[in-house]
Amino acid sequence: MEATLWTPLLCLLSLMAIFTSTRGGGDPLDLNGNITLRWDVMSWTPDGYVALVNIANYQQYRTVMEPGWRLQWTWARKEVIWSTVGARPLHRGDCSSFKGNMPASCMRSPTIVDLTADVPLTDQIAGCCKGGVLLTQLQDARKSTAEFQIAVGNAGTTKKTVQMPKNYTLTVPGGRYSCSTAKIVRPTQFLSPDRRRITQALMTWQVVCRHTPPRGYKPPCCVSLSSDRGLKIPCGTCACNCKPSDARSCAPKSPVQCTNHMCPVSINWHLLSRSKGSVRWFEVSISNLNRRANYTDWILMIQHPVAQKFASADTNYWSLPPKLGSMEVVWGIKHYSRGLGPLGSGRSTAKFEISYEGSPGKWNFSSNVFFNGDRCANPPLPR
Ligand SMILES: *[C@@H]1O[C@H](CO)[C@@H](O)[C@H](O)[C@H]1NC(C)=O
Ligand SMILES: *[C@@H]1O[C@H](CO)[C@@H](O)[C@H](O)[C@H]1NC(C)=O
Ligand SMILES: *[C@@H]1O[C@H](CO)[C@@H](O)[C@H](O)[C@H]1NC(C)=O
Ligand SMILES: *[C@@H]1O[C@H](CO)[C@@H](O)[C@H](O)[C@H]1NC(C)=O
């Protein structure tokens, strides 16, 4: 009985493994997914301009987690950053040619990092200071964007003479985004706080960045299976980050708990015995096994190849359009099923129940699971 319940799943996993290994760059499950940078020039200054920079996460199930994004570009000429509000340049660089007023950065390729919410109000602007974290719009539209202001000197002071920065790159923990060249777009319009007046940027350019999986991808999570009837398929040995022969990867100093898979996050699908006929019920448990990482704002994308009825308890959920099979996105509700805090915080596990319906015999289970956008290692197939 047990075997027949799981057999389709096991076949499926092997099929999906073949499918995913042929994946190239970008994300075939989220074709338009991108992070868009928008620069709105708000005023000209004697030697340059002041711009509002907006960073918006338009990916359906990928977030940017702590310690957050870093934005870099290369100036077209010899521009400098006089000041920033709501973010800051990482390095000052060589400002030796300046007397008196000192720019915040003279780097030819400056790197900007976000501030945290606890900086003084004078260093903040509306929409800023989120510690570099970008959630998805589904989780929280306000937390899916970042905003900062930048005063640029040694730059053009008109639409004709200003030069857009080149070679934008966005780096995030465990990965990077490749960005398009800047393109001039229609000036952004702004509604005044009293909503009675519309102003517009003097000039706007836009850059579209797409996630680029790193070479030698290491999954940050693994999937295991179990059931009320005693079935157990644990995460694969060294599914994330070790060599079976390498005992050092299990050093006591490692922030990730020592396990045979060394994954910072593990996800267990537990088949409940109340599953009957065509309906399969699972309890899904997500465990944070990292003592330092905080995944409170987790988001899970579950991909399964046939449209099946999906039910859930204790979570939000949302279905992606069924382009490549059908997919479900699940994330935690505040103060309820969230709580994927660091290991040892007492709240390092999140649980929810989910059911699928399919015609008996043709039933199959989700094939791939993505945690915060990254694909998890599937359970190993028994021989
Ligand atoms: C999954 O279900 C679909 C539709 O019922 C079926 O065509 C397919 O063969 C199944 N896959 C596996 C591996 O059982
Ligand atoms: C970036 O995402 C937005 C929002 O989904 C979409 O409208 C736009 O077409 C995307 N851009 C590209 C170049 O894919
Ligand atoms: C673009 O940026 C990348 C990463 O910062 C850097 O390695 C590369 O040299 C830059 N290219 C140019 C043409 O500036
Ligand atoms: C984890 O992050 C959440 C949201 O950012 C925060 O409220 C919580 O205090 C953090 N927990 C720990 C243990 O750092």
Amino acid symbol at 4: T
The CA-based diameter of the chain, rounded to the nearest angstrom, is 81
Question: Do residue 272 and residue 159 come from a single domain?
Answer: no
31 Cα nearest atom in ligand 2: 14
In a domain, 323, yes or no: yes
- Total domain count for the chain? 2
Q: Report the distance separating Cα 86 and Cα 128, nearest Å.
A: 5
In a domain, 380, yes or no: no
Which residue among 70, 169, 170, 176 is best mutated to probe the pocket of ligand 3, counting the most ligand atoms within 8 A of its Cβ? 169
Q: Average pLDDT for residues 255-277, to the nearest whole number? A: 90
Look up the domain containing 177 and give its range. Answer: 35-212
Instruction: State in Å: Cα 339 to ligand 4 middle.
Output: 9
In a domain, 363, yes or no: yes
In a domain, 116, yes or no: yes
pLDDT at residue 8 above 50?
A: no
Question: Do residue 67 and residue 9 come from a single domain?
Answer: no
End of a domain among 212, 232, 265? Answer: 212
User: For 42-73, what is each residue's pLDDT tens digit?
Assistant: 999 999 999 999 999 999 999 999 999 999 99
Check which CATH number belongs to the domain holding 357 and give it.
2.60.40.290
User: For 298-331, what is each residue's pLDDT tens digit?
Assistant: 999 988 755 456 666 667 888 777 666 677 888 8
> Which among 169, 160, 170, 155 has a CA at the least distance from the CA of 76?
155
Question: Do residue 352 and residue 225 come from a single domain?
Answer: yes
Question: Do residue 301 and residue 360 come from a single domain?
Answer: yes
Question: Do residue 181 and residue 87 come from a single domain?
Answer: yes
Question: Do residue 86 and residue 223 come from a single domain?
Answer: no
Cis peptide leading into residue 67 (ω within 30°): yes
In a domain, 316, yes or no: yes
Question: Do residue 195 and residue 234 come from a single domain?
Answer: no
pTM: 0.87
Question: What is the percentage of the chain residues whose pLDDT exceeds 70?
Answer: 82
Distance linking the first and last C-alpha atoms of the chain? 18
User: For 174-213, what is each residue's pLDDT tens digit?
Assistant: 899 999 999 999 999 999 889 999 999 999 999 999 999 8
End of a domain among 212, 239, 272? Answer: 212
In a domain, 29, yes or no: no
CB environment 146-183: b (16+ within 10 A), e (fewer): bbbbbbbbebbeeeeebebbeebbbebeebebebeebe
Residue with tokens 């001039």: 184
347 Cα nearest atom in ligand 4: 13
End of a domain among 184, 212, 240? Answer: 212
315-320 and 326-332 beta bridge pairing: antiparallel
158 lines ligand 3 (CB under 6 A): no
pLDDT band at 275 (very low <50, low <70, confident <90, very high): confident
> Which among 337, 340, 357 has a CA at the least distance from the CA of 63?
340
In a domain, 381, yes or no: no
Question: Do residue 72 and residue 100 come from a single domain?
Answer: yes
Instruction: State in Å: Cα 376 to ligand 3 middle.
Output: 31
Question: Do residue 364 and residue 344 come from a single domain?
Answer: yes
Question: Do residue 13 and residue 75 come from a single domain?
Answer: no
In a domain, 329, yes or no: yes
Question: Do residue 141 and residue 237 come from a single domain?
Answer: no
4 lines ligand 3 (CB under 6 A): no
Question: Do residue 183 and residue 296 come from a single domain?
Answer: no
